[in-house]
Chain A
Amino acid sequence: MYEFVSGPLVWIAFIVFIGGSLYRIYNMLSISKKEKVVFPHMSLKHSLASLVHWVIPFNNQYMRKRPIFTIVSFAFHICLLIAPIFLLAHVILWDESWNMSWWTIPEAVTDWMTIIVIIGCIFFLYRRLTDPVVKNVTDGSDYLLLAITALPFITGFIAYHQLFAYNTILILHILTGEIMLIAIPFTRLSHMLFFVFTRSYFGSEQGHVKNSKDW
């Protein structure tokens, strides 16, 4: 089992993730071409202006109005992206298989980052269960996406601390990580891919076409 999830399935997961992402972006761009307004409205300057105001915390009015959400969601997303890439154990695996390596973050830090991701997931789950607006637009798929996101980190945390059943948990960790990679292009986790485009388009339309701003 370990050989399978850490061998062929890794290949499949990365191929589906990268290939799927490229396909989805290509698909988005080609159906956007059908709409005559999309590309003529785009402007690099206003896309960047919009991104700068929305990827830096508290750099727009709405984020300042919701400090807790802003802090949690930024901490969550930063840790979610950074921790897996610069985790020592992951880099060692890359080194062993491909002889390539890069910087790593101290394990104590990535451990905390994992905890932050898990806390973030709990926060989002809490909102889904209690905030009336969010609750009303939540269905099974939203919980599933949350589970797909949380599980690699929960199993990773357990495996790192070797809390119990190390071998089983490790297999589960790899498996859930692969599921997440595969899920990104084909579920609404694809906001990871599309965020830049939706943000750029709205920023361009507001700035370039409508002479206003979107922050």
Chain B
Amino acid sequence: MKPTIVKREPVVDEAMDQCEARLTEEEIEKVINEVIDKETGGRLWTYINTCIHCGLCAEACHWYLSNDRDVSFAPVTKIKDTLWVMLEKKGKVDAAFIKRCSQISHTECNACRRCGMYCPFGIDIAYMILVVRRICAKLGMVPLYLQDTVHSHAATMNQMWVKPDEWIDTLQWQEEEAQGYVPSARLPLEKEGAEIMYSVIGPEPKFLAQLLGNITVIMKVAGLDWTMPATAGWDNSNMAMYSGDFEIMARVERLHHETAQRLKVKKIVMGECGHAFRGAEYDGPTWMGWMKPPIPIVHAIAFYYDLIKSGRIKIAKKIEGPITSQYPCNVIRNAGLGSKLRYIMSAVCEDFVDLIPNDRHAFCCNAGGGTINCGPPWKKIRVQSAKLQSENFKRTGAHTIVTPCHNCHSGVEDIVDGYKLGMHVKFFSELLIEAMEIPEHLKPKEE
């Protein structure tokens, strides 16, 4: 088979460059065969032996479609250029090849699983990409910025090097902020036996702290019994899941679930983040052999759906003007929350303009799957490869794009900047805070 013609601008990623210089071919061969023999089984074998090389997956991929149908971005090509070669050569490949594997799997694929849905055989190509990431991670070939977040997880059990006192300080600060709207609002820490443990991702306390204030108001208005942990275990994000470092992924997921068990809550409600849901609901529990999370996980979309549908939160005034929403892959295509998202969007927006394609067929924001966490070196190609979704946003004519996922939020902000769309990017909770009714008895009293 002829090698794929790959045209890319050179990118300097120090960690990958240093790793390339360090890796030996013996080490590479050993790790590849170890992962293939010990960590994969029926799925990989059947997928490789069933794929008839029809190329139908290409049409599913926003990387391929956004880059003028450059074949080097097609899903099947990504497998050809990584796993097919590894299997054919039985792991006898060089360090430059592994670097290219990391580039393909970490920086040019969001593991959004759209191609799996478009394969006539249902071959889960994203799963195979994660196998490639696993091999790369075991060899230490991970983009610098992504590996930094993994180090942060390992050292602090959160993604953003947030220190324990900073965490508690931030929560208390946001409790005070919330009390500006609803004086009786509380952000209860370490309340054993509460019904809900609310967990967020590292970036919330780090630079989106107002979201913690928002949820404090929402919980009070909805009259819910909730708590947040004061210890590590509050962060539900998991970049190790995406780098391929599944040992650290498992530590993070275990601590998150064990914290909820320590607090004896009935369920975990998580903020607006897609990959965090995936890690807590699926990747973490399956890797650890639990299969299902020990305590039910509720994503923000389903949580807000219940609050609005049951009337616990009433909408006072819908937000004006056309508003659209991104469909985060990990909670829509891969968790089926699409209709609930449309329900809550229609509930708070006067004019909800749906994306085309929508729901599980919607395209990725191109930030997911750890891609945005690969950092500045890889930003240009990432934004360039979101062209298709930028056109989809533009067509809606919306003034605001709602992103019920942190990765989507950052990714869509980059799209709006990069393609000069002139749209706002907001989380759903920001809309809800604006639109919801605060009952008279909860409002601040006039002095």
B231 within 8 A of A: no
| B77 touches which of A136, A202, A205, A210 (Cβ 8 Å) | A136
Task: Judge whether B50 and A194 touch: CB under 8 Å.
Answer: yes
Shortest beta-carbon distance from A143 to chain B in Å = 11
Chain B contacts with A in 45-80, Cβ cutoff 8 A = 45-47, 49-56, 58-60, 64, 69, 71, 74, 76-77, 80
A167 within 8 A of B: no
Shortest beta-carbon distance from B368 to chain A in Å = 15
Task: Judge whether B47 and A133 touch: CB under 8 Å.
Answer: no
B289 within 8 A of A: yes
| A29 touches which of B42, B69, B71, B123 (Cβ 8 Å) | B42
A201–B49 Cα distance when bound, in Å, is: 15
Shortest beta-carbon distance from A75 to chain B in Å = 15
A137–B75 Cα distance when bound, in Å, is: 11
Shortest beta-carbon distance from B279 to chain A in Å = 13
Task: Judge whether A133 and B124 touch: CB under 8 Å.
Answer: no
Shortest beta-carbon distance from A122 to chain B in Å = 15
Q: Which of A13-21, A34-42, A82-90, A172-180 contacts B (4 or more CB under 8 A)?
A: A34-42
A202-B124, A211-B336, A213-B336 given; A136·B46 CB < 8 A = no
Chain B residues whose C-beta falls within 8 Å of the C-beta of A198 in the assembled complex: 46-47, 50, 121-123
A34–B39 Cα distance when bound, in Å, is: 9
A126–B55 Cα distance when bound, in Å, is: 13
A29–B122 Cα distance when bound, in Å, is: 17
Chain B residue at minimal CB-CB distance from A211:
B336
| B291 touches which of A40, A73, A215 (Cβ 8 Å) | A40
A35-B41, A54-B122 given; A194·B71 CB < 8 A = no
A38–B43 Cα distance when bound, in Å, is: 8
15 other contacts beyond A66-B59, A127-B55, A188-B49, with CB at 8 A cut-off? A28-B46, A29-B42, A31-B45, A32-B41, A33-B42, A38-B41, A40-B291, A62-B60, A62-B118, A133-B76, A133-B77, A138-B53, A202-B116, A211-B335, A213-B336
Residues of A within 8 A of B (CB): 28-29, 31-38, 40, 50, 54, 61-62, 65-66, 69, 73, 127, 131-134, 136-139, 142, 145, 188, 190-191, 194-195, 197-199, 201-203, 205-206, 209-215
| 4 tightest Cβ-Cβ pairs between the two chains A and B | A32-B42, A202-B122, A35-B41, A211-B336
